[in-house]
Amino acid sequence: MARLDAVSKQTAHKIEKLAETVMRSVKGGQNPFVEIPIRSLANVKFNEKRRLVELGNQKQRRYFFNVAMAKKFMQTFLVSDACKELIDAGKTTSIRDLYYITKHTIGETKQNTFEEQDESDPIIEDLEVAVDALREELHLFASRKGSMVGPITIRDSGDTIDLRRMGSGGWAVPSIVEENVIQFVRHEAKYILLIEKDAVWTRFNEDKFWKRERCIILQGGGQPPRGVRRLVQRLHSELKLPVYVLVDNDPWGFYIYSVMKQGSINLAYESMRMAVPDARFIGLSSFDKEAYQLPSNVAIKMDEGDEARAKQMLGYPWFQAKQWQREIQEMVRAGVKFELEALSRRGISFITEEYLPRKLKEKDWLE
Amino acid sequence: MARLDAVSKQTAHKIEKLAETVMRSVKGGQNPFVEIPIRSLANVKFNEKRRLVELGNQKQRRYFFNVAMAKKFMQTFLVSDACKELIDAGKTTSIRDLYYITKHTIGETKQNTFEEQDESDPIIEDLEVAVDALREELHLFASRKGSMVGPITIRDSGDTIDLRRMGSGGWAVPSIVEENVIQFVRHEAKYILLIEKDAVWTRFNEDKFWKRERCIILQGGGQPPRGVRRLVQRLHSELKLPVYVLVDNDPWGFYIYSVMKQGSINLAYESMRMAVPDARFIGLSSFDKEAYQLPSNVAIKMDEGDEARAKQMLGYPWFQAKQWQREIQEMVRAGVKFELEALSRRGISFITEEYLPRKLKEKDWLE
């Protein structure tokens, strides 16, 4: 058994407690059950005060002596047992791997514990909410994308890494970025800039924007994966740095910002650890086409899907503020969208030398 | 104008020569043309001796005074002009960005130089073959994925980076890895291991396989992007290190290996710079299910597409060797495929502690 850090010790303890509760019912002659917060849409709400998409209080009980529930009950304990073993061994793995690890044929039957990964994934989410631990704390990682550079020194698994000297490539952001893996050593950053696109991030890195402006730049290859979101949240809350999000001017870009800001409906139970309600939308705004004189031939006509999506966003509780209604309505009115790359029409480094500095100077962002 | 490195100087010179040739025809009263090697299937062949998929000798001439060709002629020079400017400025950009940079409305007309990116991308490929330069040498980058760690110190854009101390994340492999950007400083590696999957790479990194085995480990998130392929090729040819490829046991995994080894039909003109004919296929082999006792419930039934694909591979000229026919035939016969993660059924670190060490010891690979 590896020596456990504080985070892992706590998570292992939570799993043990879950098992103990069940064992106690068994010994007491009762029908053992696990209590799991319900993750369906009906139990998700937007908390106006905390500005987060959150889970409500509804719970369900999963009983062992119940024909409809027994298999899931067994699966829950297979998964929690495997996670406990991972934690004790000081190892981490993917949810795909966990599926293979826990897949057995039961006794002499032809029944498998799990047929496909789409059976084990929801069980992992159940366990997350049941013991109140992120899957990363259960030592499970998601696929990862994304890179980061900036005026900060970090420690990653014991290695000290200077993100001021990461060349053109940058540090590849891992999926698990909890305190037991990643620590922030020292920094001179004034803010964090999360960029939707890899190619645009490369422009910012090549132009050494982060050095001139003293900021940390991250990209998550489109919709940022869990590791990038969690890291931004930690940088924001622990180092007290403001977060700016730079995305395409289209419904998908707005959605990326929205998930970064208040979490998503699917993963509502994790918003508190993943979302940054103070995150600022720095661009591309629907009004930038005029303010920054983008020629009309770099506009892209929105299709029906885009339009429906944009109209739907007008109804989201977190986009009710006047400035957001104005922003989305202008997109719908114009019927066009713009990619960040459209700014290159004004010059290859226009985005790093004129667009973003002016945006920041004029405090031209939305919250 | 930035001070140009040797690679960039050479590429700039190639573009200038192209332009000069055209200008000379104009001054001589001739119809100016560009000569471009043909990139269609008919002009692609497998060179048995060099073991590479290569372009043949067929060329086409693109004339300026020709209604059908004039637009493409103009586009070729727009793109080459933009690349020359990039090189002179010491900047790089994405092919998406290049599309925006070169998109203009022509004079008072409603005609655009390019309507969509699918018009500018083939022109870039034309330019690559016309001046014999990789697009990376034209200062254009592709999207990138992938990470790397191992017993090697590199220089990336002037920063010295020790890939022995990159924590759990690793160094994010950029798209442009030519000598002017990336240099190898010193290393103690004995070989290179290219792993198909991010999650499996994380297992190898976490278990410090690269330290114990003295190897460089890379992953390209599925089909490796250009940056990863080119970097593997450079590590192989400059440091004289053997390359092992570790992929799923399915037609897609074999295809990934095959592209790494002899290049692809689409990018046949780049095989010489991107492919490693000596690359070894270390697994998963169709015979590993028995040799490593994988339970049958981790096998995945092949669908019709998989089967057709596998049968097609039996006909590829580069899979004609007896060992490859045997390998693919066994996959077709069994009708099942296996993911790398299936090995976790034997234990979470089975792949790093038993599978790969035994494979290497028994020289159980295919070439």
Residue B231 has pLDDT above 90, yes or no: yes
Q: Pull the structure tokens for residue A163.
A: 């993100």
Closest by Cβ to A159, choosing from B167, B174, B349:
B167
Q: B105–A295: do the CB atoms touch at under 8 Å?
A: yes
To the question of whether residue B278 is assigned a binding role by annotation, the answer is: no
Q: Is residue A68 scored above 80 in pLDDT?
A: yes
SS3 string, chain A, reads CCCCCHHHHHHHHHHHHHHHHHHHHHHCCCCCEEEEECCCHHHEEEECCCCEEEECCCEEEEECCCCCCHHHHHHHHHHHHHHHHHHHHCCCEEHHHHHHHHCCECCCCCCECCCCHHHHHHHHHHHHHHHCCCCCCCCEECCCCCEEECCEEEEECCEEEECCCCCCCCEECCCCCCCCCEEEEEECCCEEEEECCHHHHHHHHHCCHHHHCCEEEEECCCCCCHHHHHHHHHHHHHHCCCEEEECCECHHHHHHHHHHHHCCCCCHHHHHHHCCCCCEEEECCCCHHHHCCCCHHHCEECCHHHHHHHHHHHCCHHHCCHHHHHHHHHHHHHCEEECHHHHHHHCCCHHHHHHHHHHHHCCCCEC
Amino acid at the residue B352: T
How far is CA A133 from each of CA A56, A60, A83, B41, rounded to the nearest angstrom?
17, 18, 12, 54
Q: How many CB atoms lie within 10 A of CB A124?
A: 21
Determine the Cα–Cα distance for residues B61 and B32; give it in Å rounded to an integer.
10
Contacts of A297 in chain B (CB under 8 A): 103-105, 112
- DSSP H helices, B144-241, are 198-206, 209-213, 226-239
How far apart are alpha carbons A344 and B97 in whole angstroms? 7
Q: Is the pLDDT of residue A151 over 90?
A: yes
DSSP result, B264-319: -STTGGGHHHH--TT-EEEE--TTHHHHTT--GGG-EE--HHHHHHHHHHTT-GGG
pLDDT digits (tens, 9 = 90+) for B36-74: 999 888 899 999 999 999 999 999 999 988 888 889 999
Q: Which two tokens stand for residue B111?
A: 């005609």
Instruction: Choose the closest CB to A167 out of B96, B104, B161.
Output: B161
Domains along the sequence of chain B with CATH: 6-31+66-141 (1.10.10.10), 147-361 (3.40.1360.10)
pLDDT of residue A2: 59
Q: Which of B362, B313, B367, B306 is nearest to B334 (CA)?
A: B306
Catalytic residues of B: 100
CB contact under 8 A, A165 and B170: no
Share above pLDDT 90 across residues of chain A, in percent, rounded to a whole number? 84
**Annotation: binding site of A:** 196, 248
Comparing alpha-carbon positions, the chain A residue that sits nearest to B117 is A298
- Are A160 and B165 within 8 A, CB to CB? yes
> B-chain residues within 8 Å CB-CB of A8?
none
Is the model's pLDDT at B265 over the cut of 70? yes
Contact A345 B101 (CB under 8 A): yes
A259, exposed or middle or buried, with CB in 10 Å at 0-12, 13-18, 19+? buried
> How close B247 gets to chain A, by Cα (Å)?
15
Is pLDDT at B25 greater than 90 in this prediction? no
Q: What confidence score (pLDDT) does residue B129 get? A: 92
pLDDT mean over B183-199: 97
Residue B169's closest CA among A237, A192, A145, A97?
A145
CA distance between the termini of chain A = 47
Task: Quote the distance between the C-alpha of residue B233 and its chain's center.
Answer: 9
Q: Which candidate in A99, A100, A257, A269 is catalytic?
A: A100
CB distance A206–B92 less than 8 Å? yes
CA distances from B184 to A166, B158, B176 (A): 15, 12, 14
> Is residue B343 a contact partner of residue B355, using CB atoms and an 8 Å limit?
yes
For residue B10, name the pLDDT band (cuts at 50, 70, 90): very high
Q: Which residues of B touch A339 (CB under 8 A)?
A: 96, 100
**What is the C-alpha separation between B335 and B299, in angstroms, rounded?**
9
Taking residues A286-308, report their average pLDDT.
95
Asked if the Cβ–Cβ distance from A156 to B169 is below 8 Å, we say yes
Q: Which of A91, A172, A295 sits opposite B348 (nearest CB)?
A: A91
Q: How far apart are CA A121 and CA A350, in angstroms?
A: 44
Helix (H, G, I), strand (E, B) or coil at B140: strand
Q: Is the pLDDT of residue B254 over 90?
A: yes
CA distances from A81 to A35, B233, B359 (A): 17, 43, 31
> How far does A161 lie from chain B, in Å, by closest CA?
7
Given a cut of 90, is residue A131 above it in pLDDT? yes
> pLDDT at position A325, please?
98
pLDDT, mean of residues B243-268: 94
- DSSP code for B169: T
Question: Are the C-beta atoms of residues A347 and A297 closer than 8 Å to each other?
Answer: no
Identify the pLDDT of residue B2.
59
Residue B48: Cβ within 10 Å count: 10
pLDDT band with cut points at 50, 70 and 90 for residue B111: confident
In DSSP terms, which residues pair with B59 in a beta bridge? Answer: B37
Q: In A, which residues are within 8 Å of B166 by CB distance?
A: 156, 159, 161, 171
Residue B245 has pLDDT above 70, yes or no: yes
Instruction: State the average pLDDT for chain B.
Output: 94
pLDDT at residue B1 is higher than 60: no
- Assess whether pLDDT exceeds 90 at residue B144: no
Residue with tokens 């879950």: A18
Three-class secondary structure of residue B161 per DSSP: strand
B177 phi, psi to nearest 5 deg? -125, 30
Rounded to an integer, what distance in angstroms lies between the CA atom of residue B338 and that of residue B358? Answer: 19
Q: How does pLDDT run across B320-332, given as a tens digit for each residue?
A: 999 999 999 999 9
Q: What span, in angstroms and rounded, lies between the C-alpha atoms of B103 and A10?
A: 57
B94 contacts A341? CB cut-off 8 A: yes
Residue A3 reports pLDDT greater than 80? no
- The distance of A188 to chain B (nearest Cα, Å) reads 19
Q: Which of B219, B170, B216, B173 is nearest to A227 (CA)?
A: B170
Angle at the Cα of B161 from the Cα atoms of A224 and B177, rounded to 5 degrees: 70
Q: Using omega within 30 degrees of 0 as the cis cutoff, is the peptide bond preceding A284 cis?
A: yes
Q: Indicate if the pLDDT at residue A192 is higher than 60.
A: yes
- Is residue A100 among the annotated active site residues? yes
| pLDDT attached to residue A106 | 84
- Pick out the residues of the known binding site of A for Mg(2+): 196, 248
B231, B348, B353, B355: which to substitute to probe chain A, counting the most A Cβ within 10 Å? B348
In this predicted structure, the answer to whether residue B319 has a pLDDT above a threshold of 90 is: yes
Between CA B202 and CA B221 the distance in angstroms is 11
| Whether A172 and B169 lie within 8 Å, measured CB to CB | yes
Q: To which residue do tokens 């001439």 refer? A: B61
Could you identify the residue written with the tokens 């803010």? A191
Check residue B95 and give its pLDDT: 94
Q: Who among A94, A297, A344 is closest to B97 (CB)?
A: A344
> What residues in A contact B174, CB-CB < 8 Å?
167-170, 202
Chain A contacts of B103, Cβ < 8 Å? 297-298, 345
CB-nearest partner of B344 from A101, A141, A181: A101
